[in-house]
Amino acid sequence: MQHLSIPAALFFLLASVSILGADDDMRAGAGMVAITPPAGVPLAGYYHKRGASGVHDELYSRAIVIEKNGVQSAIVSLDLISTRRGFVEKARELINERTGIPSENVMISATHAHTGPVLADDRLFESQGASDPAAAAFMKELPGKIAQSVGAAYKRLVEAEALAAIGNEGSITFNRRFHMRDGSVGWNPGKLNANIIKPAGPIDPEVPVVYFREPANKNPLAVYVNYSVHLDNVGGDLISADLPYTVTENLRKAVGDQLVTVYTSGACGDLNHVDVQWVEPQRGHENAARMGTILSAEVLRAWPRLEAVEGALQIKTCLVVLEIPKVSTEAVANAKEIVRSGNDRNRKNFMQLVNANKVLDVAEREGKPFQVEVQVITLGDSLAWVALPGEIFVELGLDLKSSSPFKQTIVAELANGSIGYVPTSRAYRQGAYEVVSTRCVKGSGEKLVNAALDLLNACYSNATTD
């Protein structure tokens, strides 16, 4: 993929940059607050309504606050299906009021758990129960709870050091798009399907790990873990964080009860947990636990390779304009009828329902393009986080990592708001579920990557000329 510069008119640059020496003390703190909704709340993830019958494990807002040379930043992960720009902005306002951390210095992403509450919107996901009073009540309380988790981390700021490593685990994530014998690209074609030729794309096996601890007594504070796999193991009607639950429990037991684990999803818009060559079913809490155990073991295997990260803390964000597809009046009328009467219980109806929801969402924008945020946080000249606003195809994430000047670049998707699936340009002509669903036009993913690279290069230039 060629890196093309973005015209300045496409985005408004915000920056909070430290360019002081790298030897000043760093402080860090971590906190977590339960955000589990009550039983009965409609659950997200599919195109039909299902209410939560109970709780398998709690959902959390987990936060790490980093301070260096007067610059402060917060990294937050939510055990939710996605983020919405509205609650992100409200949470940032509250965080700024309570801690002084600038709003643009706060990164908020979701893990994409399919067993958390529907995020109430005006119409989006109405078929899942988005207008349910319980969903509305959850959304009303959510910004305050996010701010509470950051506030808890802020109050616990202590002298800290950061260490980073990259693990490798390629056995539990799979590309879910396949070249089929009829010339099409299939999506989730089923186990042992004889019509599969090969995957239509790669995976990303990297397991980035960033560990924060007190330098004098080595007390653990937090560990940040990132992995590229779609969180849709569990299903059913019990509230659950999916595989991050097992990851966080295992790391807490191995490292220390006070450890806060912040798990985020890497670019995995076209990845999932299904091994089509393995006949056994892969569903439920058991498979989530199996995968979580494997992933947490890889994090611990990377522990001896952790290396200190030093240098200035920088945060840069920009707004990027992404165009939306055109939809006809006739398509809108058809979509309304499909949403009114449709269901997702068979393959044909499902794809019709996916497209209908896309058409209605796009129509509501009345031609107005998206303005989405791309954000980077960097530490020294070796470590960078990138926040992208959607379910990003893995090749976009891989290209971003390989083109970044930083030794370790971590991509967190579904961050600071989301516009749904963001495929590669090549995928648009292949079709299948993600392309049917996407609300943005061809080239949007590459535009996000280029915007992130512009920010990363600017931060790296500052770090290396300090």
Give per-residue pLDDT as tens, 51-77: 999 999 999 999 999 999 999 999 999
Mean pLDDT of 137-156: 97
With bands split at pLDDT 50, 70 and 90, how would you rate the model's confidence at 306? Answer: very high
Domain ranges of the chain: 8-324+369-464
**pLDDT value, residue 80:** 97
Mean pLDDT of the chain: 92
In tens, the pLDDT along 167-219 reads 999 999 999 999 999 999 999 999 999 999 999 999 999 999 999 999 999 99
In tens, the pLDDT along 75-97 reads 999 999 999 999 999 999 999 99
**pLDDT value, residue 49:** 83
**pLDDT value, residue 235:** 87
121 within 8 A of 41, measured Cβ to Cβ:
no
**pLDDT value, residue 143:** 98
As a whole-number percent, the residues of the chain with pLDDT over 70 amount to: 91
**pLDDT higher than 50, residue 15:** no
**pLDDT value, residue 19:** 36
**pLDDT value, residue 347:** 65
**pLDDT value, residue 405:** 98
Whole-angstrom distance, CA of residue 239 vs CA of residue 241: 7
With bands split at pLDDT 50, 70 and 90, how would you rate the model's confidence at 45? Answer: confident
- The type of residue at 406 is F
Q: pTM surpassing 0.85?
A: yes
Whole-angstrom distance, CA of residue 247 vs CA of residue 228: 14
Lowest mean pLDDT among 3-12, 81-90, 106-115: 3-12
**pLDDT value, residue 129:** 65
- The type of residue at 231 is L
DSSP-derived secondary structure letter, 21: -
Q: Which of 339, 128, 114, 147 is nearest to 241 (CA)?
A: 114
Lowest mean pLDDT among 67-76, 124-133, 247-256: 124-133
Bridge partners of 370, per DSSP, are 322
In tens, the pLDDT along 418-455 reads 999 999 999 999 999 999 999 999 999 999 999 999 99
Bridge partners of 30, per DSSP, are 64
Cα-Cα-Cα-Cα dihedral sign, residues 433, 438, 441, 445 = negative
**pLDDT value, residue 24:** 67
**pLDDT higher than 70, residue 376:** yes
CA-CA-CA-CA dihedral for 242, 248, 254, 258, to nearest 10: -150
Lowest mean pLDDT among 68-72, 164-168, 352-356: 352-356
Whole-angstrom distance, CA of residue 388 vs CA of residue 207: 18
Give the tokens for residue 448: 């996000």
Mean pLDDT of 293-314: 98
Lowest mean pLDDT among 114-123, 251-260, 330-339, 383-392: 114-123
Whole-angstrom distance, CA of residue 379 vs CA of residue 460: 10
DSSP-derived secondary structure letter, 382: T
How many Cβ atoms sit within 10 Å of the Cβ of residue 202? 12
For the chain, the 3-state helix, strand and coil shares in percent, each to the nearest 5, are 35, 30, 40
**pLDDT value, residue 20:** 35
**pLDDT value, residue 381:** 97
**pLDDT value, residue 12:** 38
Lowest mean pLDDT among 5-14, 330-339, 456-465: 5-14
